[in-house]
Structures are given as structure tokens and as C-alpha cells.
Amino acid sequence: MKRSKGFTLVELLVVVGIIALLVTILMPTLTRARELAKQAICGANLNSIGKALHIYFAEFNDAFPLIVQYGDVQAAINVNTQGDEIWPDPPGTATPLGTNAMQNLWLIIKSGTSEKLFRCPTDGEWLERKAATLKKYGWISIQNYSYGLHKPYGNDADDVENKAPLTMSLQGNFIIMADKGDGRSVFFNSTNGEYHKPVIHKDDGFNCLALGGSVKFHKTPVDTNEANSHAGIGGDDIYVAGDEDGTKNLPDPYDGPAQSGSLNPIDDTDTFIVPWKK
């Protein structure tokens, strides 16, 4: 009997089974490769923001972009340090996020930096800013951006205790921006296996932008004691106010409360990334 051309049902099932097996094997690799690509884009975003900041520094005599007057964290954000009104009419209208530190970076967005750079592609909670709600400038929700900024001012209106980068002599490796946090350290508790993950790149770590312009991904491997947010100078935890050098006691990272917005950086090696995810 002459066999007809084509595949038998058994042969087709074998081929389908092989393809399904290959997909099962390759899918985790493809997923991982996609996440690594997103991390690279996230780092490139921070790199571009860093370049925009340095252009701003050059234009305004090394002044850090600050909108709040005199370092008063309670002041309504409506006037920048150059006296140029950038917020919607009527003058003096505060933005929905009030004195949120990230609002200061609208001074570089206003100068031409793309608002899209403030979105990390891994950030699943990102929401597009509805410009019509606020007319032109200002973040509306903490979900409009994926990064946090070193707290750029203290709580004293007289500026005496201002810890703003423009008032201090900082090293080039001082971290001024990073992926936003949620008010706690990144940590792994080997006693009970508890792992407090980064907010965005949860199983990997977070990107950091240094004052000098360099960007580095700080790895926090899952289930190891290396899972931490001590990415700053001298092992400083960048998500809490206080250094690791004994100058200030830090809260217990395992059961301590989320950091209060009233805390300030304590010296020129202490990064404190704000605001955090709420």
C-alpha cells in the first residue's frame, strides 16, 4: 500500500510536544532577558536625567533645582529659585502633591527634559499624568514617576539646617536619585526568611544616580544577606535618614515603622531618597 504524503497524527503530536517543551524551557530565559532590558532602559533614563541636571547646574552656578523658598518644606510649591513662575494660573496655586520633593525636577522638565524619562518600564503601577487636570506643570500622583530624589531641604524656614545639595560640599559619588522606595530598608532576615524587596525591580535591586552623573545598578539578591539598600557612601542606606557610621541610630529594619517625612539627612554622606511609594 502506497503511503500518502504528509504527517501522521502521532508525528504532529510529537512535533507539538517538542515545541511546547522548548517554550517551557526558554520562557524563563526570555522573561529574564526582557527584565534586564528594562533595567537597562531604567538606568539610561536616570543617566539622561543626570545630564539634564548638570546642564542646569552649569546654567545656574551649581544651584540644585529647588522650588521651595528658603528650604521650608511646609511652603507651597509655586515659586522656583530663579523667581520664574512655572505653575498654572492663578499664581500661587499649589500642586496636588504639595511639597513633594520630585516636584523640584519640573524645573528641568520645563527646560526641555522629557517627562517620559521619569518612567521605568518595569514600574507596573505607573500612571500617565493627565496634563489637563493640572494644565501644564507638576506631578499629580506619586504614580506619575518611578524615581525618588535625595531630600533636598530641611524643615527650617530660616535655612539654618538646610541639607540641600546646593548648600553642601558633596562628593561625586553621593547618590541624589534612585528608584523610589516605600519608606523602609531593603533587607533579608535570615532568621525567618523575610525579604523586603525593592519597589520596582523587586528581585534584583535598584538603579542609583550619583551627583557626578554616573548610574549604577545596586544588586540585592533574593534570599541572601546581600539584599540591602546600603548603596550610599560608606555603606549608607539610601532609603533612611541616618548613616551607618554610628552618627545616628537607625530603626530596626525588620519591625521598625516606615520612615517619617519629618526626618532629614544628617550630613554630607547621608542620602535619604524621598518620596516613597504610599
Q: How many CB atoms lie within 10 A of CB 21?
A: 10
- From first to last of its 278 residues, the chain has per-residue pLDDT tens of 555 666 687 778 888 888 888 877 877 777 788 999 999 999 999 999 999 999 988 887 777 787 655 444 444 443 333 333 444 444 444 555 655 778 888 888 888 899 999 999 999 899 887 755 555 667 777 888 999 998 876 544 444 444 455 556 788 899 999 999 887 889 888 888 888 899 999 989 999 999 999 999 999 998 888 899 999 998 899 988 876 554 444 444 433 444 444 467 777 888 888 876 54
Radius of gyration in angstroms for the set of CA atoms belonging to the chain, rounded to a whole number: 23
Q: How many CB atoms lie within 10 A of CB 20?
A: 10
196-231 b/e (C-beta count within 10 Å ≥ 16 → b): bbbbbbbebbbbbbbbeeebbbbebeeeeeebbbbb
pLDDT of residue 171: 86
Domain boundaries, the chain: 33-274
pTM exceeds cut of 0.85: no
**CB contact at 8 A, 147 and 177:** yes
| C-alpha span between 76 and 94 (Å, rounded) | 6
Q: What is the DSSP string of 195-222?
A: EE--SSBTTTEEEEEETTS-EEEEE--T
| Opening angle at CA 179, ends 175 and 184, nearest 5 | 90
pLDDT of residue 208: 97
**CB contact at 8 A, 163 and 151:** yes
| Opening angle at CA 53, ends 110 and 198, nearest 5 | 100
